[in-house]
Structure 1
């Protein structure tokens, strides 16, 4: 029949504002093809900064196969519990530089041995989850297939399908009701439940704190009042022949990450999608016919439109739509082949630049008009003000902290002034160096204002030691050298770049170091 040569695409819209641990979730599903053969499709997400999972535009265009890691094993129904069905290499279908994830998929054809009940389970497990606020460590996904002929429909069951972005961003303090997109070719009843066994979820079982799952509607409600960070969700998507049935026909593993982030913006503020299709529309595409769609996102500073899509679907670069500054678009194209016959879910997520409103020093940058230099008071124990430019594309540039100086640093400048005035004791050099060492021990690096002040403090100490050679100790020179290393650490790279107009200060610091060493030797 003609309908057998059609590919159906369920379009769903998701709107959001925007170490050795690297797994970010995945899904394992299957499709019966012939006799004992099935196609197993797995979708995986990993940390993009892991070199084994790095993906860029060239990988997307060239269809490069990423090696991946580990193996998919036949956990039930094969000759042994560890029968390998496939390696876990995959084709990258999307990536995100800001959130540091790679997402990909692959379909492999396998021939299964005959069993008395026709039930098989496929498992993928290894270590480790990306660092999570709750749970973590090893991951495990387990999916179940039954390839016997169903009496009610006269053919092998088709399992439910689902698709979610690898990361869903949630504003801290906001309430969310999120629908898991699900579809079933046989029209079966679909239910969602928490993964709840070692085989299904290993280190990330059961629900995260305060989340509520409506199993019949596959909707979970969550009040994101917990700590900032990443939370894993591990679900099993199952189909049943009737509403009253208690025994599932199949079970599909679905795991993904929620990112709770701090924002001072309204919970209602989020981008909107404008397309020809509405949420949950079904599009029928004949095989070998090209599907084209323009996806338009409207909102403040749209930074990305993310697709969770079939492998061969192509997405253009994000571009401004017309002359409006708040509408952006991508074009998507896909030409399905006979291998693609069946249902596919296209999940679309729009991300706006509100995601960038908190920088690494926890300074909050409120919504700002394009081509505007924003200023704000320095946070914590810092005095002065910081500035940041919002460019013509509605994107934040790096903030400037040259005028932000901590009270601790200001105190050290007072001490070095006392040192140079002669109104001090020799032990004050050690006191200043030790306090400066404590201040520079943070992992986030120093603000540029504190880098400048640190250079001035070291310069003052070198001036003093030049005139008081007999007071210099081995411990002081060791701390001085250690401080130089800390100031030049990679964590301060951005702050040094910010100071590209303050080269003289750096030269003075280098000269100070030389004079210090000359005094010692």
Structure 2
């Protein structure tokens, strides 16, 4: 069954100013004959009180509900983290979450579909997880500025991810925003438009994952279905508000539109932390013709933010138990004000992972002494304790597989290999060099 909160949504008739939804689920290990499933169910309304009324009858104190962020009475995003076990079956549901906030494309009643496929996959020998992503409830751009919104979507199973606009019956009225174009790679593009198109639009999207090879899905009664690379497995909704604001005096980033500065992580950066520690991320931005006032975020539960001077922000994340081992998406924008007008930076998103040992970056990487395939979320290296003594490695023949590029990510690959070799007993003063053909040269000081 779906979570009790999901069932509550299906029967609730509460009216609220709805700002969107992002839903995802992940599947853990087999326990007592059933796989553990975690649902990340985030919904946005015009106030936190509306969320509480809609989800919990006004009191969410006894439920795993977390505040993600809110924007000065404009919107509030909260998330319900549901956990439990599930049988090997599929689940489909259509959900209504009240009325959309007023929008130009004329969408009144909110509707979105959920399709969970928890059948056993032949390629990974367990049920798969859905794509993982998030977005802030309100993205805004000046009407005269070209802007791209690049969603960051990851998939724990390494599937092919594709985005599209929702279609009947996945929405009540399915009119997409006339000012936005959406690519299958989950990038939204806005081109300058005239003032008659200014205002808010409801964005209703669906993200699907497709296997990269033909697989067989098996349900709890033994029934099977074959999925090819053209067949979607799961479907999750992404809905938010896109607002076209009046024209800005300049579209140059760093003047009115905030521009990110170092050490702000780049879009798509992957950062890991020990699952028992708090991760700190520094964000800096400038707008020379406006005042940078706040940072707005959407990410996993446990992210907090603070301001330390104009354009200087600190984000901290304390992972919760259900975060362990998963790539969690954190998205943020910086807002600036000038003469009563509000300007947003580009949407920037990163991946954060809580692992059992600290590391600066954790892209997919596996190392074995036999040919292997890439593991999407975690290393397949087995823990081992080096035998003490004056042992010296004269030669090592190892195959390494990773989704990183040797051309653009050579430094990251080198650091990851070095960390693993040191962990296995080699001297910390070793130096590594990537050679042509993908070979690695390792040297160390003479004993």
- Scaled by the length of structure 2, the TM-score of the pair is 0.61
- 3-state DSSP of counterpart to 1:162: coil
- 8 A contact 1:227–1:260 mirrored in 2: yes
What corresponds to 1:230 in structure 2?
A: 200
**Is the contact made by 1:28 and 1:142 (CA closer than 8 Å) also made in structure 2?**
no
Is the Cα–Cα contact under 8 Å of residues 18 and 97 in structure 2 kept in the other structure?
no
Quick check: 1:68 aligned with 2:37?
no
Aligned to 1:107: 81
Structure 1 counterpart of 2:209: 239
Q: Is the 8 A contact 1:68 1:89 kept in 2?
A: no
- CA contact under 8 A between 1:28 and 1:141: conserved in structure 2? no
Question: 1:68-217, aligned counterparts within 5 Å?
Answer: 68-69=54-55, 90-97=65-72, 100-112=74-86, 114=87, 118-198=89-169, 200-203=170-173, 205-215=174-184, 217=185
Residues 301 and 319 in structure 2, CA contact (< 8 A), matched pair in contact too: no
- Identify which of 279, 294, 313 aligns with 2:303: 313
What CA distance in whole angstroms lies between the structure 1 residues aligned with 2:136 and 2:91? 27
Deviations 1:176-220 (A, max 9, x none): 22212211122211100111013x2213x14221432211x2112
8 A Cα contact 1:192 1:238, kept in partner = yes
Given that residues 105 and 176 in structure 2 are in contact (C-alpha distance below 8 angstroms), is that contact kept between their aligned partners in structure 1? no
Cα gap change, 1:354 to 1:237, in 2 (>3 Å): farther
In proportion to residue count, which structure has more helix? 1
SS in 2 for 1:28: strand
Offset at residue 339 of structure 1 (A)? 1.8
Contact 2:308–2:314, Cα closer than 8 Å, also in 1: no
Secondary structure, in 3 states, of the residue corresponding to 1:285?
strand
Aligned residue for 1:174, secondary structure, equals coil
Q: Distance in 2 between matches of 1:176 and 1:29?
A: 27
Structure 1 vs Structure 2 CA RMSD: 2.7
Q: Deviations over 1:329-384 (max 9, x none)?
A: 122222213321111001111111148239xxxxxxxxxxxxxxxxxxxxxxxxxx
- Give the 5 Å matches for 1:236-275: 236-242=206-212, 245-269=229-253, 270-274=257-261, 275=263
- Give 1:289's aligned residue: 277
Residue 24 of structure 1 contacts residue 257 of structure 1 at CA under 8 Å; is this kept in 2? yes
The alpha-carbon deviation at position 277 of structure 1 amounts to 2.5
State yes or no: 1:220 paired with 2:188: yes
Moved more, 279-288 or 220-229: 220-229
Shift of 1:32: 1.8
- Misfit runs of 4+, over 4 Å: none
Gaps of 5+ in 2: 1-14, 214-227, 343-447
Residue 336 of structure 1 aligns with which residue? 319
Distance 1:265 1:212 in 2: 24
CA distance in structure 1 between the aligned counterparts of 2:16 and 2:245, rounded to whole angstroms: 20
Q: Distance in 1 between matches of 2:156 and 2:140?
A: 30
CA shift for structure 1 position 251: 0.9
Matched position secondary structure for 2:322:
helix
CA-CA distance at 1:224 after TM superposition? 4.8
Count of residues in correspondence between the two structures? 298
Cα displacement string for residues 297-341 of structure 1 (whole angstroms, at most 9, x for unaligned residues):
21131011111121111212x231xxxxxx521222222133211
CA distance in structure 2 between the aligned counterparts of 1:133 and 1:88, rounded to whole angstroms? 35
Question: Any gaps of 5 or more consecutive residues in structure 1?
Answer: 1-19, 54-65, 72-86, 321-326, 359-521
Structure 1 partner of 2:267 = 279
> For 1:125-156, what per-residue CA distance to the aligned partner results, in whole angstroms no more than 9, with x for missing partners?
13200011112211012121111221122222
Which of structures 1 and 2 has the larger relative contact order (alpha carbons within 8 angstroms, sep 6+)?
1
Question: How far off its partner does 1:39 sit?
Answer: 1.6
SS in 1 for 2:197: coil
Residues 266 and 138 (structure 1), Cα distance of their counterparts in 2 relative to 1, 3 Å cut: same
The 8 Å contact of residues 303 and 315 in structure 2, kept in 1 or not, is answered as: yes
- Structure with the higher strand share, 1 or 2: 2
Q: Any idea what the Cα deviations from partners look like across 1:446-471, whole Å, max 9, x if unmatched?
A: xxxxxxxxxxxxxxxxxxxxxxxxxx
Tell me if structure 2 keeps the 8 A contact 1:308–1:346.
yes
Q: Name the larger-Rg structure.
A: 1
Counterpart contact for 2:265–2:283, Cα < 8 Å: no
